[in-house]
Amino acid sequence: MTIQGSSPGRRPQLHVIATYPRDETTASKRPALPLAALSIGILPKSLYTTVILSTSRPRKYLSMSSLKGPTPQQHDGSGLRIGIVHARWNDSVIAPLVAGAKEKLLACGVKESNIVVQSCPGSFELPFAVQRLFSASQIQSTSAGAPSATDLLASSTTDLTSLSSGAASGAFDAIIAVGVLIKGETMHFEYIADAVSHGLMRVQLDTGIPVIFGVLTVLSDEQAQARAGINGKGHNHGEDWGLAAVEMGVKRREWTQGKIEG
């Protein structure tokens, strides 16, 4: 049983959760018990599993949070290259989220030629797509920065310097992963949301590149639309992801160079 926060003179909301024996072969010997029996240590938790009996949720969970996000910081993104990888499921919501992210990237000075947008079938594919896109940008950067044998023979040392600095493509400074997961009738939602969250975290830690988590995990179409700013309602979270990508891209460069501003 879980108890939501209460105020003086108001009874707390209760959500009933029952516990059932883990071992089906001995189920008749251990009947279902209230969760309180486990939480206060009457019975070992290893013998029981919990099942939510009530799917009703406190009303506050069905609306957007009243808490505000971080205050946007001003960063110059003119030297950054940013990637956006989005799933194609729920495209009517994906499209405005990607557009919102691009709008903020451009507003921060990121050149349109340095914004690369790629897609993948669904959110489950996002971690792999982000990882391989970053790897491709590294290869692209190395290839673009290295002069060919013909260039080496035909150019002076001064010319070689200009060849190297003129590389048009570089590795991404940050990548935004965009997806929309809407709760259905099965556990598919929970499995995908958990896998994608951990996968994207692993990618950014393994590669050292900031990966902005732009995956909506919502309970209804209406919640998704509100978080994409559709029909003038709610707020387009894609804008926040664009700002976060610029901030983290700039800071990553500074930290890589050993610069730490107080």
| DSSP-derived secondary structure for the chain | -EE----TTSPPPEE-EEEEES-GGGGGGS--EETHHHHTTSS-GGGEEEEE------GGGGS--SS--PPPPP---TT--EEEEEESTTHHHHHHHHHHHHHHHHHTT--GGGEEEEEESSGGGHHHHHHHHHHHHHHHHHHHHSPPHHHHHH--HHHHHHHHHT------SEEEEEEEEE--SSTHHHHHHHHHHHHHHHHHHHH---EEEEEEEESSHHHHHHTBTGGG-S-BHHHHHHHHHHHHHHHHHHHHTT----
Catalytic residue among 15, 75, 188, 237: 188
Known catalytic membership, residue 188: yes
Please state the φ and ψ torsions of residue 182, each to the nearest 5 degrees.
Answer: -115, 130
CA 260 to chain centre: 26
> What are the catalytic residues?
188
